[in-house]
Chains A and B, each alone.
Chain A
Amino acid sequence: NAGVTQTPKFRILKIGQSMTLQCTQDMNHNYMYWYRQDPGMGLKLIYYSVGAGITDKGEVPNGYNVSRSTTEDFPLRLELAAPSQTSVYFCASSYTSNEQFFGPGTRLTVL
């Protein structure tokens, strides 16, 4: 099992550009999540999904969109990148609830 994989590992965007952060899990987990971590801060939930076709907002959803067309994939879309979106992004998945398995993260810089 590869677990949770994320691509890319690093990315630099210009203000106003868009991009998609990819997340895939091979554990057949129903629940998937996107977090961002800013320096000195904990992880903030952006969006989550309880199954294919179902997504919902977390604490900090503004500026992001998600989709969940399959159990395995949960991409995060940034439409108009802003410097405030400079952060490390983590994708996670879980079978039922509580214990989540995290990917290695994507470090995004918006200049």
Chain B
Amino acid sequence: DQQVKQNSPSLSVQEGRISILNCDYTNSMFDYFLWYKKYPAEGPTFLISISSIKDKNEDGRFTVFLNKSAKHLSLHIVPSQPGDSAVYFCAASWIYNQGGKLIFGQGTELSVKP
């Protein structure tokens, strides 16, 4: 049972344009969401997060939007750069989560073309 889903395995955008990566979840208990970025042959690195008390969090070129009623979040990258080409994972957590466990989506591979 996939509680966190990223339904687009891949996304291709032109340099300078906006990249929008989507993530859906099914568990209403999730109240904290994270995006990780992964380059080939490296471990994932934390990118940005959002708590369920907010609907938007921004960090430079990266913005995450949360729509709790739709159980949907998205990561916007503006403007996209070739160095953003990587696999992006959405992850979810919840309060009283012993050990800080994360539930990951399947990932979306972003390709930014010059």
Residues of A within 8 A of B (CB): 4, 31, 33, 35, 40-45, 48-50, 56, 58, 90, 92, 94, 96-105
Contacts and interface: CB of A to CB of B under 8 A. Distances in A.
Contact of B34 (A40, A45, A98): A98
Give the dominant DSSP class at B's interface: loop
Interface residues of B, number: 25
A105 B45 CA distance: 12
B98 A50 contact: yes
A43 B99 contact: no
Contacts of B49: 98-99
Interface stretch (B11-19, B57-65, B67-75, B100-108): B100-108
Contacts of A102: 36, 43-45
A90 B106 contact: no
B44 A90 contact: yes
Contacts of A31: 99-100
B46 A99 contact: yes
B4 A100 contact: no
A98 B89 contact: no
Nearest to B46: A99
Interface string B77-105: 00000000000010001000111111011
Given A48-B99, A103-B43, A42 B89 contact: yes
B44 A43 contact: yes
Closest CB pairs A-B (n = 7): A97-B100, A102-B43, A42-B104, A43-B104, A42-B106, A48-B99, A50-B99
